[in-house]
Structures are given as structure tokens and as C-alpha cells.
A and B are shown apart, each in its own frame.
Chain A
């Protein structure tokens, strides 16, 4: 397992660390990483056990769903056997595990495609939305949080607090609808639901599935503008929810850092206030912040379920909800596993990043 050098992430290593060889430096990481991997594997196994359980307790009999309720008994028995439902439950789980690890989630009843094919088609839309969302959320949330911490108790601090509170309390789907009414129907600043206007949809050959990239690479700037005007409203909405969390956490991390002695030392040394805040304090606050940002990125995938429904955004969230409304369990559970896996993966990533960025968590 290749672990990136901490220096590459923009953190100066302690001089004591620099004198050691790379192998010595990474060995403790590898060990704690090994432990971590076991934990993650167990968590993932549990995740699959939960989805397996949900698939089993569902009141719809999968056999009847295929053959209908008027099928003769021997047909029912044969289908039951073909589906492996006559085997003991632990064997069924084992077979299920094998299939899922190969990326086989079964066939969607609704689209008649393998669920994995559908998910591959839907995922780039969600990725594009959530990525722009986190860019907006972190790009505005971190400076706002820093500003609030520096001007603690002043007007800015109160405003940032209110922004955060509103973000925690407002239903995202409702805010999305109201934003559509104002910015699309009344003001006409942005395009409505969907990813792209129909007139552009068929002139475009998907390469990455990320339409901003695809249109830019094809040099279709008119289509690019169209994609952007569809994307900006739902992405800002998701970005706002990330911002609420990120700015609040940034503020509390920064307050922590600004109370440290090295800040006093830097002031005594005569460094400018902006240098102290942005170069010294924020850099230390960035260590826990990376975790927060990674977790909010994962949170946006979840938030996208409701946002995509409002904006008719053909991503993973809309796929899951559409499948839900049609009792298409293979698709629902497949989508759940994918989102769950990304969640677990981002959790893992944020933990590893934390260990790499913070010299104090290194085992000596």
C-alpha cells in the first residue's frame, strides 16, 4: 500500500522526522494502517450484512415477483432453487458476498439493465454535483469560519452563526424548491431542472460523464454555459449545507489555535496579523479541517438524494428514489451499498489524512 509522503501534502515535517529514513517513518503508519484496514473490512462486512438482511425481510416474495401468483407449484420450486433461496441462510449470505464483491447487484426490474450498469451511468452526475458543492462549501466556509473566529463576538461572528443555524434547520428539498421559484421561474437567472437542455443533449458524446469537462474538452462553450447554468443552483444549495458545517468547525478550530502560545510568540516577534492568522494558525487548524471537509463531502452524497429529486438530476440519488417508488429492491440495495462504500472509504481517507498531516499522532 503506497502512502503519500506527508511533505507532499504541504506540511513541513519535524526535523527529527526528516533525519529518519522513509521506511522508518512509514513503518508505524503501516502497522496502524493494518489495524485500520481490519476495522474497515469488518465495518464493510457489517454493511453488507445489513443490506442482505433488508433484502431478506422485505415482505415481497422475490419468487412470486418473478413468476406471478398463478404459477404452478413446480415452477415456484424451480425458481426458488435457481435463486438459491432453498439453501441455508449463511450459504445465501456467502453467495451474496461473492456477487457483491464482483460488482454484481442483480438486474434492475425497472430498467432491465444490470444494476451496476445503471449506477455507472448515474454516478458521474452525482459526482459532478457533489464536487462543485464541496468546492463552494469549503471555498467559502473556511474563510468565513476564520473571519468569525478572528472577530469573535462581533457582528460577523453572529452572522456566521445564523448562517450555520439556518443551514442545520432548513429542509434542503424545500429550500431547493423555493430557490427554483425565485431564481428560475421569477428572475430567470438559471436554468431549471435537469442537467442540460434537450437541444444540446444529443450533440454531446459523453467521455467522462462529467458534463462540464466533456463540453469544455469538446470546445462547445455554448453547451458548457448551459450545463453550468443547470448545475449552479443545486450545487450552491449543497454547498450551503457543507458551508454551514465547515464554517462552524473552522471557527472552533481557529479559536483553539489562536489561544495557543505560539500565536503570542509570533505576535511578539512582530509578524503581521494576517500572516499569523493565515500562515500559522490556519495551517494548524487545517489538520482537523481536512477530516471535516472529507466527511461533509460524504454528507453531500447523502444530501444529493433529496436535492436530485427536486432538480430532476439524473444521478445516484434520483436512481435510488425512483427504484424505491417502484419496489425495485436490487437497485435500491445496490445504490445503498455504493453510497455506503463511498462513505466508509471517505471515512478511511480522512482518518489516514489526519494521521499523515498531524505529526503528533505519529507513533514513535
Chain B
């Protein structure tokens, strides 16, 4: 090891950082080091990165069209060298459809996270900081949503809004924010007792400024971990809605809807349903591994 690298490591490893930047970099370094030692978590990370890559370059990777097939010659062909995952009842190449479908899965996951996590953060931190009746009202609403079975509530919302991928995203987001709100509230309750919050209060900062600028950033890391752990659940719920015909509509190559289509032929042509289901399984397994690893690396207390 060169002396330069050694000095960089001791700079990162120090327990007496001299600047804010050094403290931050040190924490990032230790987090990454713990994380990269966890082989399963790294595997999860690679699969998730692979999913992102496949989604970006989907059009280049897909060998055939995902939307049209040849009904005369390529209907319901078993897996072969020309069609790796076989073809479906419309003669479409399933491998191409799974690849294009990764975009839909990724989009759903990102949109739900972007909608639900900030909502949960705001509700939780405001409830925790304000206390009193604001807290009581917000937490009661949270409990009502928590008391509901998630898929059933999403089903009812989609039934009201009408089927479609946007409405499925909205329904899943509406049903997945409450755990984030509970977590953010619990953290806010401990943070608001600290001296530096008292100092900011004495400086005359407004409650909104304290919540948005001083409390929320501290709740962010645990919420991110929780969102990663929830990603698998979001994927499974979206696929379930798609399977019931309430999510993405045909001919979109959404994985859950593809399984619903394959269900009609499953006893004789099992491959139509097999490939998209395996894709869902692998991706949600990856998110579970990644989430577990992140939790262990960022929050040593929770690691068992």
C-alpha cells in the first residue's frame, strides 16, 4: 500500500475529524466498507444496477418487437435459441417483452418512492415536532391507513380511479406512506429534545425552517433504508394489480399483466407465465438483499 493511500485511510478513519467534510467522508467510507463486505447485499446491488442498465438500454437489448409478433409462424413457441423465453399467444418474443417491461417496473418503483417517502416524511416530522392535537390527528389518520390491508385498499382505490398504470402508482403510494410517517415521527421525537434544536429555536428559526432544514435531513437515512426494504413489496403489489387487470393495460409488457395473460395457457405452455414471474422474483429478491445490507451498514443498532 502506498503511503498516500495509507494517509488517506487514516484521514478517513480518524475519530477526531477536523472539518465537517472529513466527518462526512469518514462516515460514507465506513458505510461503504461495511456494505461491500456483505456479499449478498453486493449481489443485490449488482442486480438492481443491472435492472437500471437494462431499462435504459432496453430498446438496444431487445432482439424483437415487444408489441407485435407473427401470428402465423411464432405463436406459443417453447424456449429455443431464437426465442430464449419462448413466445406468447400473440407471437411476441417474451424475452423482449420482459426487457421492455423492466422500464415499467422501475418507473413504478421510482414514482411510488418519490410520492410516498416525502409525504410520510412531512406528516411524521410535522406530527412529531408540533405535538398536541396536530400529532394526535395526523397519527390517527396514519393508523387508519396502517390498519387497512394494503393490497385491498389499493384495489379499492384503483376501482374508484379506474384501471391504469398511473392510478396503480397513485393507489400504491397512498397505501405505502404510513410506515414512513411513523418512523419519521419516532425519530423527530428524540431529535427535538437535543440541544442543537434548542439552539436553533433560540436563534429564532420558524417551526417550518426547523422541521424542513434541521429535522428532516436527519430522518432521511432511515427512511431511505425503509423505502429500499419496501421496494420489493411495491413491486409485488404493482405486479399483483397488473395480474388482476387493474394496473398496466395490454399491450403494455408489464410483468404482472404478462403472467395474467400466460395464466390462460399455463398448463400446456408454462413458459408464457414463467419468465415474467421469474423476473419479478429476481428483482424483488435483489431489493430485499440490498435493503438488508443498507440497514446493517447504516444502522448498526438494528443489525442482529
Q: Which A residues form the contact surface with B (CB < 8 A)?
A: 39, 42-43, 46-47, 50-51, 54-55, 57-59, 165-166, 168-175, 177-178, 180-181, 184-185, 252, 255, 298-299, 301-302, 305-306, 309-310, 320-321, 324-325, 327, 329, 332-333, 335-336, 339-340, 343-344, 347
Chain B residue nearest to A302 (CB atoms) is: B149
Range of interface residues on B (Cβ < 8 Å):
35 or more
Q: Which B residues form the contact surface with A (CB < 8 A)?
A: 140-141, 143-144, 147-153, 155-162, 232, 236, 239-240, 243-246, 256, 259, 262-263, 266-267, 270, 273-274, 276-277, 280-281, 284-285, 287-289, 304
On chain A, the residues within 8 Å of B280 by CB distance are: 170-171, 174
Q: Give the shortest distance, in Å, between B154 (CB) and chain A (any CB).
A: 10
Indicate if the CB atoms of B147 and A43 lie closer than 8 Å.
yes
Chain B residue nearest to A332 (CB atoms) is: B159
Indicate if the CB atoms of A173 and B240 lie closer than 8 Å.
yes
Indicate if the CB atoms of B147 and A305 lie closer than 8 Å.
no
Chain A residue nearest to B162 (CB atoms) is: A59
Q: Give the shortest distance, in Å, between B40 (CB) and chain A (any CB).
A: 9
Indicate if the CB atoms of B244 and A321 lie closer than 8 Å.
yes
Indicate if the CB atoms of A178 and B274 lie closer than 8 Å.
yes
On chain A, the residues within 8 Å of B285 by CB distance are: 165-166, 169-170
**Cα distance, A272 to B153, chains bound together (Å):** 49
Q: List 17 A-B contacts (CB under 8 A).
A: A54-B157, A57-B160, A166-B281, A169-B236, A171-B236, A171-B240, A175-B277, A181-B270, A184-B267, A320-B152, A321-B244, A324-B159, A327-B159, A332-B156, A340-B149, A340-B153, A343-B149
**Cα distance, A40 to B287, chains bound together (Å):** 34
Chain B residue nearest to A316 (CB atoms) is: B152
Q: Give the shortest distance, in Å, between A285 (CB) and chain B (any CB).
A: 14
Given the interface contacts A171-B256, A178-B277, A329-B159, does A340 sit within 8 Å of B148 by beta carbon?
yes
Indicate if the CB atoms of B277 and A171 lie closer than 8 Å.
yes
**Cα distance, A254 to B263, chains bound together (Å):** 41
Indicate if the CB atoms of A305 and B155 lie closer than 8 Å.
yes
**Cα distance, A165 to B274, chains bound together (Å):** 19
Given the interface contacts A54-B157, A174-B280, A181-B266, does A302 sit within 8 Å of B244 by beta carbon?
no
> Which one of A46, A166, A180 contacts B266 once the chains associate, using CB atoms below 8 Å?
A180
On chain B, the residues within 8 Å of A171 by CB distance are: 236, 239-240, 243, 256, 259, 277, 280-281, 284
Given the interface contacts A171-B259, A255-B304, does A54 sit within 8 Å of B148 by beta carbon?
no
Q: Give the shortest distance, in Å, between A305 (CB) and chain B (any CB).
A: 6
Chain A residue nearest to B150 (CB atoms) is: A302
